Structure 1
């Protein structure tokens, strides 16, 4: 089961595309948008993350850190970030496989991947927005932007 608004966001420490560990606890005091996606280089995921890249100032201007998370290994994420010029970290939930996605209730055991889960974590570590879409169901980012605007107000 996925997390709901008001729940405490599960802690995690995951390597980014450069093998630098990013921990949610280190970002306490700053709102964080967590964007779980199935796979690097796949069509819908690339489109969603490119839109996020192109509209990143919507989040950063509101003081929100953006972290994208998949079960891909760091080497794939490094190539994906370089190819698409992403200005936000891509975190690898590769091993233990999908452990963070499981903690957020967005791991598909049969396929071995994260589904499209989006969580806005407030500065106190509580879920302020939660949305889960299935792998083939592209997300509309207007809900994320509304949640960020509400949090920033």
Structure 2
């Protein structure tokens, strides 16, 4: 079962595409948008993350840190980031496989991947927005932007 608004966001530490560890605890005091996605280089995921890249100022201007998380290994994420020019960290939930996605209730055991889960964690570590989309169901990002605007209000 995925998290709901008001739940405490599970803590995690994951390597980014450069093998640098990113910890949710270290970001406390800053709102964080967590964007779980199935696989680097796949069609829908690439489209979603490219839209996020192109509209990143909507989040960074509001003081929100954006983190994208998949179960891909760091080497794939490094190539994906370089190819697409992403300016936000791509975190690897590769090993133990999908543990963070499981903690957020967005891991598909059968396929061994994260599903499209999006969580806005406020500066105190509570979930301020939560949305989970089915496999093959692209996300509409307007809800994330509204949630970010709500934090700033």
Superposed pair shares fold, TM > 0.5: yes
Which residue in the other structure is 1:116 paired with? 116
Which residue in the other structure is 1:78 paired with? 78
Q: Distance in 1 between matches of 2:60 and 2:48?
A: 17
Secondary structure of the corresponding residue to residue 129 of structure 1: strand
Residues 89-108 of structure 1 correspond to what in structure 2 (within 5 A)? 89-108=89-108
Which residue in the other structure is 1:147 paired with? 147
Secondary structure of the corresponding residue to residue 53 of structure 1: helix
Q: Distance in 2 between matches of 1:105 and 1:72?
A: 18
Q: Distance in 1 between matches of 2:134 and 2:53?
A: 21
Which residue in the other structure is 2:46 paired with? 46
Secondary structure of the corresponding residue to residue 68 of structure 1: strand
1:22-80 deviation per Cα after TM superposition (whole angstroms, max 9, x unaligned): 00000000000000000000000000000000000000000000000000000000000
Taking structure 1 as the reference length, the TM-score comes to 1.00
CA shift, 1:135, in A, is: 1.7
Which residue in the other structure is 1:67 paired with? 67
Q: Distance in 2 between matches of 1:16 and 1:23?
A: 10
Q: Spell out structure 1 runs of 4+ moving beyond 6 A.
A: none
Which residue in the other structure is 1:88 paired with? 88
Q: Distance in 2 between matches of 1:135 and 1:86?
A: 23
Which residue in the other structure is 2:19 paired with? 19
Q: Distance in 2 between matches of 1:147 and 1:46?
A: 23
Q: Distance in 2 between matches of 1:100 and 1:121?
A: 14
Aligned length: 153
Q: CA RMSD in A?
A: 0.2
Q: Distance in 2 between matches of 1:33 and 1:65?
A: 6
Taking structure 2 as the reference length, the TM-score comes to 1.00
Q: Distance in 1 between matches of 2:118 and 2:151?
A: 15
| Structure 1 unaligned blocks of 5 or more | none
